[in-house]
Amino acid sequence: MIWDFEFTFDVMPSLLGGLWVTVQLTLIGYTIALVLGLLIAIVRRAPVIGAIVHFVMEFIRTTPLIIQVVFVFFLLPASLNVPLLGPVPITAFTVGVTVLGIHYAAYTAEVYRSGIEGVAQGQWEAARALSLPTGRTWGAVVLPQAIRKVIPALGNYLIAMFKDTPLLFAIGVAELLTRAQRVGSESFRMTEAMTMVGFLFLVVSIPSAILIRRLEKRYVAV
């Protein structure tokens, strides 16, 4: 099959639109995963609540993402009645990015936990000896050391999440792969469409990997 450059240029705007949706899903979902994962890692240190949270996170980690996305999407109503706002539609994008963030929060929580446990016991004892408040101990002593150690692992999950966004095609999110499949099925030219998908994924993934490596060298080695 001869490569059709004219067709490639014609469909590029649609593919770039899909890439923008994919980037949005990744950035928002990753933000949710980072914040929620940190909260989970801290809560897990509590005796009773920690055990419950651990069980829930293990359940999320051991079930496929695509099943979670489909289950939540079809379980939720089409809209929610919000006071003062009225019915607020629940879109496939909202469901997809939320489930994506929660799913990866189960992984980032374990990364944070390993970093927290890696903080020397003497640091905790020094904070107690100085009578530092709990919030001050976590914010000024523990977390700066813990997070610096786990930057490489957290960065890897950013790239992994970016590559998992195509799974949201199952609920109709018009991300990059979904648009390429539509273009290819309508034109019967899957080679160009799928090749460009791979190329666009590389365009984003490779600079991200380089940035993560630089952050690792800057902060982890300190």
Q: Average pLDDT, whole number, for the chain?
A: 86
Helix/strand/coil percentages in the chain, nearest 5: 80, 5, 15
Helix 151-164 to helix 5-43 angle (10° resolution) is 130
In a domain, residue 26? The reply is yes
Q: Residue 9 burial (CB < 10 Å; 0-12/13-18/19+)? A: exposed
Domain containing residue 38: 22-173
In a domain, residue 216? The reply is no
In a domain, residue 185? The reply is no
Q: pLDDT for 147-199, tens place per residue? A: 888 888 888 899 999 989 988 988 888 788 888 888 888 878 888 888 888 89
- How many Cβ atoms from other residues are within 10 Å of residue 30's Cβ? 23
CATH number of the CATH domain containing 98: 1.10.3720.10
How high is the pLDDT of residue 149? 83
How high is the pLDDT of residue 32? 96
In a domain, residue 107? The reply is yes
In a domain, residue 221? The reply is no
CB-facing half-sphere around the CA of 104: CA atoms within 13 A: 29
Q: Where do the DSSP E strands lie in the chain?
A: 79-82, 86-89
In a domain, residue 144? The reply is yes
Number of domains in the chain: 1
Q: pLDDT for 111-138, tens place per residue? A: 999 888 888 888 887 888 887 787 788 8
In a domain, residue 3? The reply is no
How high is the pLDDT of residue 59? 93
In a domain, residue 192? The reply is no
